[in-house]
Amino acid sequence: MKLNFRNLTVRFAVLLVGLAIVGSAVAQQTSSAPASPGTQSNAALDSILSRMDAAAASFRSAQADFVWDQYQKVVSETDSQTGKVYFRRHGKDMEMAAEITSPDTKFVLFADGRVDVYQPKIEQVSRYNAGKDRDTFESFLVLGFGGRGHDMSKSFDLTYQGMENVQGVNAAKLQLVPKNQRVRNIFERIILWIDPARGVSVQQQFFEPSGDYRLAKYNNIQLNEKIPDSVFKLKTTSKTRIVSPSGI
């Protein structure tokens, strides 16, 4: 089936976009003091984006351990998932694979404009096609994964919000507000915390208009290491069935 953009984003992009190790192309940012509003803040933002532009050409891959916390406001509960995520540039396209190890084992693969979600416990692959919204979907995935920093300003209003200590790292804090109302109805804003010394995002937060949000934390990050092709293939069995859900 062809997956509607909104449903794809709500059901899967909340998952997949939360994977992104945004800022992997960012180089050293030496200032540790919060920028004041105006010129200083704009200069700091432009510096970060320019360094992402410069490093984007060398990006090949990224992998990391993750913890994703999904907060649901209506019940005031937080569900957590842990696992490992992989990204690589394959030709002109970006591929993503994730192994969720807790609380349940699942595998998620995004390649060739298609999302496959494999649940070994029930021997089932749920398959979704991004269809005409493939480019939009990939634009979320490449936020910092080889994507140019200044390209983000085409789709988001960007604000540099100074430096903040996150997970023991003095990180540059960026806020992204989608310019497109259609997208803003799904994610009203995104916060990225970028480790300036390593050039990676150590934490991300994606806010929905409902008040729900996903908080993503990454560690053991490796950039431009060789990732085996087998990582980007689902390890199904002869009993595995493939379904294309409808009405999602």
pTM for this model (two decimals) = 0.80
Instruction: Provide the CATH number for the domain formed by 5-243 in this structure.
Output: 2.50.20.10
Q: Nearest Cα to 61, choosing from 223, 233, 219, 232?
A: 223
Give the pLDDT confidence of 155-180 residue by residue, as tens digits. Answer: 889 999 999 998 788 888 999 998 88
Higher pLDDT, 16 or 91: 91
Is 244's pLDDT higher than 90?
no
Amino acid at 33: A
Sorted by where each begins, the domain ranges of the chain are: 5-243
Residue 4: CB atoms within 10 A of its CB come to: 15
Nearest to 19 by CA among 92, 115, 104: 115
Q: Which of 65, 64, 69 is nearest to 15 (CA)?
A: 69
pLDDT given for residue 38 in this prediction? 57
**Structure-token pair, residue 136:** 């939009």
Strand order in the sheet with 77-90: 156-166, 169-178, 189-195, 200-207, 213-223, 61-72, 77-90, 93-102, 106-111, 114-119, 124-129, 241-243
pLDDT digits over 58-106, tens only?
888 889 899 989 898 999 999 999 999 998 988 888 888 999 999 989 9
